[in-house]
Amino acid sequence: MFFFKFQKPGNLEFNMLRRGEIFFASVAELNDANECRPRFVLNGTTELWRRLATYILQEACFRSEVYGRISREEMCDLFSLSESLGTQLKKWARNRDVGLEMLDGLFRKLLEEELLKNNPIPLQSRLILDSTRRVLRHDLPKAIEEHSYIASFSRNAKNATMWGHYADAERGFVVVYATENGTIRIAAPIKMLHRTRPLPKDRLGDFEIGIYDEDELELKAVKYGKKPPKVNAFHRLIPRFSYSDEEDHYDVPLLLGGDAKDKEEYGIGLVKFSDWRYEQEVRAFLPAFNELPPDMRVMRAGAANVRGLIFGPRMSERDKMRAVLCCHLMRESSIQSKQESLQQFMFFQALQVVDRFDFRIVPVGILDGIYFDQHLPIKTFDNLDDTTAQSLRDACHQIGNSMQDVPTQTNSPSLK
């Protein structure tokens, strides 16, 4: 399967091409404000609602504006309300999905009623309610956030909108990737990729957990729709609840996961608004659990995955020459590092179709690894043997052309 990355003809993009790199963007860096935006709901047992009430009260009491201004006894009395609050929340919610945005008003209403029953000092009651509001509106949403870093590709190399938006109005290029098993291999300069891996048969156990400097990431297809995926926030909050030593010993945090109904947790980052459907996107997710700065999210793609490059219809001859040299340097670096099973690196040209908004992809040649003076390391299509020429025709067909659209001989760009 081929998949593609549209690029502008800028210094950053050429440098990444020269190194065979791909960038994993954070959610905030993506071009859609709704990216990775789930619909958070709460749906769980009474036990989970009680623990949630405890968590909210604890967070409220340990905020700087509250801590030290109420006594230890008063704090314990407040925490004792969590059982009643949790029971009332569950009674109100029943088995419905409760939107996280509904929790603020509901929880503080119930808490205020409980505080009035116990006749506390008014100032302390107001202080606790104000702190609880901040927890529910700011701290709780932040607690359930997860860091996602995404590399985006397209399954369509011919879409005119993609060429316009992501390849500088057809002046850029498209990197052609290939996979046989639906994955892409990446390598980091240091060990930073968190992963669970199966153990070899000659070692005890089924798997190991570690941090590695290389990995093979699954490519996942994006779905398009009108609604964000629904996610049960309890699954993200359970690890943050407090537990006794005995509960930890008996794996209560793991067991509590079964008390929260599964929703569409695996849809985060894989559901986009239907207007983006033209992108036909596939994604790879970086296996990292901590926040990473941009420079830590540049990975080198497996040389066997990087298979070719498509010149844009309006790409300048100078930029084409630069792209060929970048590909040559990338491949030579891979050979020197003794990476195996490198197939022919192919060059193609995208040509506008006259009578419709579409493109033909025609073969240009292959990388031949010979560079000297002004001779570019490319063997043009009309100088290829029949077997290699046919393999480029087949690649064009897979990229999206029918066989009749691919000429047996093309006028290659003036790459000398």
75-87, pLDDT tens digit by residue?
888 889 999 999 9
Q: In terms of domains, do 292 and 314 share one? A: yes
Instruction: Quote the CA–CA distance of 32 and 40 in Å, as a whole number.
Output: 19
Q: Which of 119-123, 194-198, 214-218, 250-254 has the lowest mean pLDDT?
A: 119-123
Length of the chain: 416
Are 314 and 366 contained in the same domain? Answer: yes
Task: Specify whether 255 is located in the same domain as 361.
Answer: no
Residue 271 lies in a domain: no
The answer to whether residue 324 is domain-embedded is yes
Between CA 358 and CA 354 the distance in angstroms is 8
- Which of 377, 321, 366, 415 lies closest to 14 in space, CA to CA? 321
Mean pLDDT of the chain: 88
Lookup result for tokens 């070692």:
203
| Whether residues 152 and 140 fall in one domain | no
Per-residue pLDDT tens over the stretch 391-402: 999 998 899 753
358 and 241 in a common domain: no
CA-to-CA distance for 342 and 352, rounded, in angstroms?
31
Residues 8 and 46 in one domain: no
In this model, does residue 146 exceed pLDDT 80? yes
How many angstroms separate the CA atoms of 282 and 361, rounded? Answer: 21
Residue 398, domain member (yes or no) = yes
The pTM of the full predicted model, rounded to 2 decimals, is 0.84
Contacts of residue 268, defined as CB under 8 A and 6 or more positions apart, other chains included, come to 36, 38, 146, 148, 229, 231
> Taking the CB of residue 416, how many other CB atoms lie within 10 A of it?
10
Same domain, residue pair 26 and 170: yes
Assess if residue 415 is contained within a domain: no
Residue in the block written with tokens 């709704």: 34
DSSP state, residue 3: E
**How far apart are alpha carbons 35 and 146 in whole angstroms?**
13
196: domain range? 2-35+148-223+276-405
What pLDDT, on a 0 to 100 scale, did the predictor assign at position 127?
Answer: 85
Do 117 and 243 fall within a single domain? Answer: yes
**Tally of domains within the chain:** 2
CB 260 within 8 A of CB 48: yes
Closest CA to 3 of 284, 257, 275, 229: 284
Residue 333 belongs to a domain: yes
CB atoms within 10 A of CB 277: 13
Same domain, 238 and 117: yes
Mean pLDDT of 280-302: 92
Residue 410 domain-assigned? no
The answer to whether position 374 is within a domain reads yes
